[in-house]
A and B are shown apart, each in its own frame.
Chain A
Amino acid sequence: MNWLTQAARIAGRELRGGLGGFYIFLACLALGVAAIAAVGSVRVSITEGLEREGRNILGGDVEVEWDFRGASEAERAYLASLGTLSEIHDFRSMAATGDGSEADRALTQVKAVDDLYPLVGEVELSPEIPLEEALAGDGVVVHPVLADRLGLEVGDALWLGSKPLTITALLRREPDAGADGFGLGPRTLVRRATLEESGLLSEGSMYETKYRLLLPAETSDDALDALKAATDTELEGTGARWRDRRNAAPQVERFVDRIGSFLVLVGLAGLAVGGVGVSAAVRAYLDRKTPVIATLKTVGAEGRTIFAAYLMQIGVLAAVGIVLGLILGVLIPLAAGPFIEARLPVPVALGIHPFPLVEAALYGALTALIFTLWPLARTEQVRAASLFRDVSGPARGLPRKRYMAALAISAALLIGLSAWLSGIPELALYAAGGILAALVVLVGAAWGVRALSRRLARTRLARGHPALRLALGAVGGPGGEATAVVLSLGLGLTVLAAVGQIDANMRAAIDRDLPEIAPSYFFVDIQPDQLSRFLERVQGDPAVNRVDYAPMLGGVVRSIGGTPAREIDHWVTRGDRRISFADALPAGTRLTAGEWWPEGYDGAPQISFAQEEAEEIGVEIGDEVVMNVLGRDITATVTSFREVDFSSGGIGFVMIFNEAALSGAPHTWLSTVYAEEEAEGQLLRDVAGDAPNITAIRVRDAIDLVTEALSALAAATSWGAGATLLTGFVVLIGAAAAGERGRVFEASVLKTLGATRGTILTSFAIRSALLGAAAGVVAIAGGAVAGWGVLTMVMEAPYAFEPVSALVIVLGGALATLLAGLAFAWRPLAARPARILRAQE
């Protein structure tokens, strides 16, 4: 019989005892695996859904988009040559119940479509009539939310601009909603032709045109690439933006990716916390098995046989834990499915995806291996002689080289795998490095607190205080649980503190980023001939504190300082840019370099550039900027830099031209109005009643939308924190339970020697406080570093240490452990010592 068969037989006999005592092990592993499997499944479901449904979500194979203008004849002809072409105008406007200043108004996102819309997918209406019929004549379809807001029903009149229309149906499903991302107002669907004479969509006003293409069915992805290259060349410098079925909903994809990658990180950290629990459970188990191992050695078992026997047992247990985790990981997303689907504007087909499950199982198996190899390797060092000692001291020294090598390889494999599979290699490496560093620091902290305790136990301080000396002895003495507790508590608290820091910082960011004095309204699309009447109304209102206004038009950057725009990687050079012009320096503007043009200047065009953006791009005073404005190239020289604060909610332009350079081009005016909140309603009715084409964006609503998106992120953080908290709690209970045996024994002996329950409990509390303090200090520091890392690298937000959150979490966690430990001590303290001591014999 070879040694492996022997090992298997020993393992089989040992496992007959059942899984009792391994609940912590199973829970730690299962929770970690479940969290990662669940996050992975949801993520794959969404991305696969986006891929599969790409054509439906986009509403075609390809979309080419322009801002502020439609395609020229030539551009349109080119696009039409590629396939079936459909044109959509997308813009914000006011929907009104009438045309006077008495009417109710609400912001809406209008989609003006042609006869071909939708190229793919179906629009669902209630009542269930064809779209064709609903949009005929002056028919308009609105989202139920808009109808609700205005108190309108099917059959009622709805005004868009200066044109009365009739609501013919409510919009139940818009197939291409995901492609548009998260809009500011509920949707209105109308024929482009219906909007003639509405005063909307005039030249210079703010709108997007989308050209959707349906390509021949057999068009492959390669052909799509070739087509994109050809189109890029054809339409270069026109500000056209290309999108195809493969990245139909980039906003949603980015959103899901960001939350998903963050949650995978939290999951891995949770698994690491669980790993510490797994390690502690295995160590406690093997400690208990020391007599068995020693006996097996006495009767002739080799070290490798024993190692294999226990490795097999742990392997079976790990398999059970992982399978439990996978089952949970499949069930959680299915259960949460409707909740997730309701929050995303794209179809999500939640199902069982093998890939994330395999990924989670691999992580789980490697974690189990990494965290059990060390204690398992120690079984080889148990000597038969330990049978003849009353209390066997734990084996000391490092495990043999081959186990160390196996440990290093498994760790490298886990880190490499997570870096490769998560799709965020850099972050995964940072996270792994962070966890590793935390573990090393915690081992150091454990060593430090043990050495300190040993020293203190020898000093006068401890003399005459048996409770204190007892605690110091337990922490500093041999075979204590100190290291395991500091490791699990410390890692758990570190992850919790980090999540707390991230959460607190995000909440602070929401508060901080809201401008203190935000304007009440953005008014856009004010036609030049409407400006004076508009200003008269708002400036004459005593409830209005401030009015800013500037002309605005769209342009495309062709080149800066001789460098073509496509070679400059910056948002300013991508797509259409809103630009403005002015004669005199606008009030409140501060120049940081160069000089403003003289009043009435009408020489060669000049530009004043935003300081920060100029620095980022590398623009210098004297550089020439070529800008395409409504089909005409304008070459202007940068003559000054300005300070622009885009966060204050006011008007800010990256580029301002001298007035003479642009005033001839069609443009509209933009105005911000700061008014008392009570006056806002009447102001809107007056302005829109007078000029229905003017769109008012209520800043408060826009801020609410941003807050909502951030809250979703904060909610994801909270879920992650919850999962980690649960694992951490299980680990802490595990540590408390693992230490119970030793504590129970000690309590019984101490009672025999005359210690009261109060003294013993005090001693336990001091011990927990010592270990909690060591773990807590590391956790606060580690949490701050991790919080800083995640905020600056993942969330791209500033970080500030949040002391309250850190202290509350660390103190709370330490207190919870203390209470759990005391709860475990309660039962043995109440029992008569003989019962417990007898069992020790």
Chain B
Amino acid sequence: MVLSLRDVSLSLQGNAGMVDILHDISLDVAARETVGLVGPSGSGKSSLLMLMGGLERATSGSVEALGNDLTAMDEDALARFRREHMGVVFQSFHLIPTMTALENVATPLELAGARDAFDRAAAELEAVGLGHRTGHYPAQMSGGEQQRVALARAAAPRPDVLLADEPTGNLDQATGEAIMDLLFGLRDRHGATLVLVTHSQELADRCDRTIRLVDGRLDRETRRTAEAAE
């Protein structure tokens, strides 16, 4: 298993005491699998994705990724693990405002010690259709452009696992489809495992499996049937 969650719960400190966000979630994701996380707003999709990336600490239960227990690792170990194996696209992108698009994309490559970081970053921006925007700062780009930079940044190091929170949320039909092709291309060409949070039926339909969350609980799991695949 690439990802393996056992009885994971998450509670956060809210204004009026602890708020339970996720309850006893257990799920496994196999290698090269694509999983779509769906559910109503506020159901805990983003939170679950953060747990899978080791970006959030589970209140109880265990999270394993590629055989490593994420709950037992310290921040540096987690960072090194992500550097080598994981890409994350946030719901609100989180580009570094003091860096250009190109520098944003090159940063994880540099951190991983790549020599040709800038060339690869430029190629990656070309692939998301932003070859002409490399020198722009985040504040100078539209929401959709920023989202594509974020995606390029996550995909550039060719991660084993890509976690993406609404990767097509701000995009028009044509661009959205191009991005989907890019995501699934990562699986097809590099054997990446994808976990995607989405409200888009179209994107969910292309996944091997969709998991529906309601009120922080696993509600329903749908496996794509052979017919649907055709």
Contacts and interface: CB of A to CB of B under 8 A. Distances in A.
Interface of A: 388-393, 457, 463-466, 469-470, 473-474, 476-480, 742, 745-746, 748-759, 829-830, 832-835, 837, 840-841
B91 A469 contact: no
B50 to A, nearest CB: 4
A753 B107 contact: yes
15 contacts: A391-B95, A464-B117, A469-B103, A474-B98, A477-B97, A479-B98, A749-B96, A753-B108, A756-B76, A756-B80, A758-B76, A832-B54, A832-B57, A834-B47, A837-B55
Report, nearest first, the 9 A-B pairs whose CB atoms are least far apart: A754-B83, A477-B98, A834-B56, A393-B139, A834-B50, A753-B108, A834-B55, A466-B110, A391-B97
B90 A837 contact: yes
B175 to A, nearest CB: 18
Nearest to A752: B88
A37 to B, nearest CB: 41
Given A389-B139, A833-B55, A757 B92 contact: no
B220 to A, nearest CB: 25
A371 to B, nearest CB: 25
B138 interface: yes
Contact of A469 (B93, B110, B143): B110
A463 B91 contact: no
Nearest to B51: A834
B78 interface: yes
A729 B166 CA distance: 45
Contact of A830 (B53, B75, B153, B157): B75
A746 B96 contact: yes
A751 B103 contact: no
A833 B107 CA distance: 17
Contact of A388 (B54, B55, B90, B143): B143
B97 A754 contact: no
Interface in B40-90: 47, 50, 53-57, 75-76, 78-80, 82-84, 88, 90
Contacts of B56: 832, 834-835
Contact of A752 (B55, B57, B103, B117): B55
Contacts of A393: 97, 137, 139-140
A392 to B, nearest CB: 6
Contact of B75 (A390, A465, A476, A757): A757
Contact of A837 (B83, B94, B110, B112): B94
B75 to A, nearest CB: 6
Contact of B98 (A390, A480, A753, A756): A480
Contact of B78 (A392, A750, A751, A841): A751
Given A393-B140, A834-B55, A837-B94, A753 B99 contact: no
A754 B84 contact: yes
B80 A754 contact: yes
A752 B76 contact: no
A480 B93 CA distance: 20
A477 B100 CA distance: 8
B118 interface: yes
Contacts of A753: 82-83, 107-108, 111, 153
A463 B118 contact: yes
B103 A840 contact: no
A390 B107 contact: no
Contacts of A457: 103
Given A388-B143, A834-B56, 20 more contacts: A390-B95, A390-B146, A391-B139, A469-B103, A470-B107, A473-B98, A477-B97, A477-B137, A478-B97, A478-B137, A751-B78, A751-B79, A751-B82, A753-B108, A754-B82, A754-B157, A757-B76, A832-B57, A837-B94, A840-B92
A464 B110 contact: yes
Contact of A478 (B53, B94, B98, B146): B98
Contacts of B78: 751
B115 interface: yes
A745 B75 CA distance: 15
Nearest to A482: B98
A464 B112 contact: no
A474 B153 CA distance: 19
B58 to A, nearest CB: 10
A752 B82 contact: yes
B90 A463 contact: no
B92 A478 contact: no
Nearest to A478: B137
A479 B140 CA distance: 12
A754 B94 contact: no
Given A389-B139, A477-B98, A478-B97, A754 B57 contact: no
A786 B138 CA distance: 43
A841 B42 CA distance: 14
Contacts of B57: 832
A841 B92 contact: yes
A749 B55 CA distance: 10
A755 B112 CA distance: 9
Of the listed residues A464, A754, A837, the one surrounded by the most CB atoms of chain B closer than 10 A to its CB is: A754
Of the listed residues B82, B107, B112, the one surrounded by the most CB atoms of chain A closer than 10 A to its CB is: B107
Of the listed residues B88, B92, B110, the one surrounded by the most CB atoms of chain A closer than 10 A to its CB is: B110
Interface string B110-150: 11110101100000000000000000011110010010000
Contact of B111 (A463, A754, A835): A754
A458 to B, nearest CB: 9
Contacts of A837: 55, 90, 94
Of the listed residues B95, B98, B111, B146, the one surrounded by the most CB atoms of chain A closer than 10 A to its CB is: B98
Contact of A466 (B88, B98, B107): B107
